[in-house]
Amino acid sequence: MSKSERLFELLTFLRSRRFAVTAKELAASMEVSERTIYRDIQSLMLSGVPIEGEAGIGYMLKAGSHLPPLMFTEDEIVAIELGMRMVKAWSDKDLAKASDSASRKIQSILPDHLKQRIEDLPLIVPDFHNNSETSEKNGVVRQAIDAHRQLYIEYQKENKEKSQRKIAPLGLVFWGKQWTLVAWCELRDEYRNFRVDRITEIQPLNTYFETSEIKSLKHYLSQYK
């Protein structure tokens, strides 16, 4: 990796963090020595990049600073386009619409040869799922998650047994074929998973919930690491 590429990667890393990161962490992430990180930080600061911090404490971009838009490599553009096609195919209608809009905006500023590469991309993601009942339910769930709004659901298990639940929706997990809703079940007073395609009725309630250190998607996932 050339110095210019390394400086760009370092700047990208700093832009992605809201808190100070130590030279040791940066060195481990970029697979270089801490000495190299110190030199690169100095180079960025001398070129006018608004970095604050010091050795042993950590570095971060100054609050409120504005930097030029990021540039992507051709493979990164292809990866982004493929990701947006997957979102369009497997998410709810609102996210599919947003993905389509974002794709058009990106393509509008690409050079002709890269536009052609995107058009000829031999990676197909069929979007037949986007108009399914699961897609509609995903939209309701995602909005409830964003608003911390409780849901009433009627659920049918694999053995056809039915139940009614009041839940706090925490997250949606996609397994490549099925979506699973991770939620806090008020009836069981613990985490429960619900396959979205087995939810037969869903209704947002006029009650809301708060997450905590022991009641959140992050906490749920931490139990399986």
Of 116, 131, 146, the residue that ends a domain is 131
Residues 6+ apart with CB under 8 A from 152: 164, 165, 166, 201, 202, 203, 205
Same domain, yes or no: 127 and 141: no
pLDDT of residue 152: 98
Same domain, yes or no: 88 and 165: no
Strand positions, DSSP E, 93-177: 149-156, 162-174
* Average per-residue pLDDT for the chain: 89
Identify the weakest region by mean pLDDT among 104-108, 127-131, 140-144, 194-198. Answer: 127-131
Residue 211 located in a structural domain: yes
Q: Give per-residue pLDDT as tens, 2-25.
A: 788 888 888 888 887 888 999 999
Same domain, yes or no: 141 and 127: no
Q: Determine the structural domain holding residue 205 and report its residue range.
A: 133-222
Same domain, yes or no: 147 and 204: yes
Full-model pTM = 0.68
